[in-house]
Amino acid sequence: MGSLSCSHFAIFPFLSQGHTIPLLYLSRLLRRRSVVVTLFTTAGNSQSIRASLQDIDVSIIELPFPQNIDGVPPGVENTDKLSFGSSFLPFARATEQMRESFEKALETLQPPVSCVVSDSFLWWTLKSAQKIGVPRLSFFGMGNFSATMYQILGRFSPHAGVDSVDEHFPMTDFPEVKLTRNDFDPPFGDFNPSGPFVDFMMGNLIALSMSDGLLVNSFYELESRYADYWNKNLGPKAWNIGPLCLAAEISKSESAGYPQWLDEKLEKREPVLYVSFGTQAEISPEQFLEIAQGLEKSEVSFLWALKSKDLNFLPEFESRVKGRGLVAKEWVDQLKILQHEGVKGFLSHCGWNSVMESISAGVPILSMPFMAEQHMNARFVAEEVGVGLRIMPRGGTVRGHVAAEEVEMKVRELMGGGKVAEEVRKRVAEWGGAAHVSMKEGGSSWRTLDLLIDGVTGKSG
């Protein structure tokens, strides 16, 4: 392990909370192994990153973010403040204008950089790493199952000849996995997907294929079949080094309101369902209303982290569920909530970070996906590893409007003591235990990270 002290990782997360947070956890893991870490971001993102890493020695370099981008409001430097549909692409493409300042900074760093770790959406960093002759490791932010299914669809077209978007077809090399075109985010379920977003993703995938590895926020035991398949048939090599959330420092800060409320619920032995749909999903007011009605009718205690404004049903809803339900409109510490002994379920959009956090905390998931690869994650949660249940839209499709009755029924099923709920709780407890073992010294993710650091040091040295 003596060679590790000269390793220097340059880490560049995409400018989005869900993409940044796992790489901040990775920074902690690397520092614990005496690796030098320099993290790149912009002035608009730096304050929250500095606050998150204030207790560890990580250099943070602010690069100027491009100005006057068509389609992006002035001053916005994080996708959480954007409309995903209309502004994401111009925002993501504009990051390439940061390349010159990134490369100048890379060349001056001491000790010399051993490798560049960057989000896959920052495709252009491959050329920056090649310019200084170091490996580039890509971070995609999704699990092995989802990444593999998307690659199989693109390479082998198992959906060819399937007319309906809701008709099941077997996946190439995984005939027991039956998916629909609707499980893939539009337009990727089309036979010949095209358009600016497809072009953008193809650029990312080409850069990924030319990179030296893919960092995966998962652990080998959870997705071994798909990790093995990826490494044998797809590539570049996937390094499973998660769940990265287990590197988080436990927050000592107490925010007013919800922690005390959760403690009171625990004392009364009233299990709580945590409800959150992340920061990027664009959900209609009508769908929010159905969710609210389902939660109200379920008679289950819940904590709903809800950042959406202008929902006119909220005041009446809050007064009707007072005592049993709490709507938190400020920022909440999701990890801390999931680790609370009284939280017994998570109604989630199934973003991969949330899936990893929930499994690590041993909390079963009620999946209600909206965008990106969330539908694939929902399949994984309910059908592959059995750590949760799936809320389904009307009409036998996986994509569309979800009725209040479905929310109510599935909430009752997950939070009740029935046979299905018991099996799900048993499975998530087992996988949660395995997640912790993987991250401890000698565990699979621990060993993988050691091998990765040694390999990078050898390449750059």
Report H helices in 112-218.
125-132, 144-156, 196-209
Q: Do residues 295 and 239 share a domain? A: no
- Res 3 pLDDT > 70: no
Q: Do residues 408 and 432 share a domain? A: yes
Give a yes or no: residue 166 inside a domain. Answer: no
Evaluate the CA torsion angle 406, 409, 412, 413 in order and state its sign.
negative
Q: Do residues 319 and 370 share a domain? A: yes
Provide the pLDDT for residue 213: 97
Q: How many domains in the chain?
A: 2
Q: Do residues 376 and 422 share a domain? A: yes
Q: Do residues 306 and 214 share a domain? A: no
Burial class (CB in 10 A: 0-12, 13-18, 19+), 210: middle
Read off the CATH number of the domain in which 427 is found: 3.40.50.2000
Provide the pLDDT for residue 221: 98
Q: Do residues 54 and 137 share a domain? A: yes
Q: Do residues 236 and 305 share a domain? A: no
Give a yes or no: residue 161 inside a domain. Answer: no
Tell me the sheet residues that pair with 238: 214
Q: Do residues 270 and 243 share a domain? A: no
Express each pLDDT in 362-388 by its tens digit.
999 999 999 999 999 999 999 999 999
Give a yes or no: residue 409 inside a domain. Answer: yes
* Average confidence score pLDDT of the chain: 94
Quick one: which of 314, 390, 399, 289 has its CA closest to 348? 390
- Res 309 pLDDT > 90: no
Evaluate the CA torsion angle 173, 179, 184, 187 in order and state its sign.
positive
Give a yes or no: residue 167 inside a domain. Answer: no
Provide the pLDDT for residue 366: 98
Burial class (CB in 10 A: 0-12, 13-18, 19+), 136: buried
Express each pLDDT in 142-190 by its tens digit.
999 999 999 999 999 999 989 999 999 999 999 999 999 999 999 999 9
Q: Do residues 263 and 202 share a domain? A: no
Give a yes or no: residue 211 inside a domain. Answer: yes
pTM here is 0.96
Q: Do residues 187 and 322 share a domain? A: no
Give a yes or no: residue 155 inside a domain. Answer: no
Give a yes or no: residue 346 inside a domain. Answer: yes
Give a yes or no: residue 219 inside a domain. Answer: yes
Q: Do residues 193 and 124 share a domain? A: yes
Domain that holds residue 280: 258-436
What is the pairing mode between strands 169-171 and 174-179?
antiparallel
Q: Do residues 78 and 196 share a domain? A: yes
Read off the pLDDT band of 253 (50, 70, 90): low
Distance CA 306, CA 276 (A): 7
187 three-state secondary structure: coil
If you average pLDDT over residues 286-300, what whole number do you get?
A: 97
Calculate the alpha carbon distances from 122 to 11, 79, 242 in Å: 11, 14, 21
Quick one: which of 296, 365, 357 has its CA closest to 326? 296
Provide the pLDDT for residue 181: 97
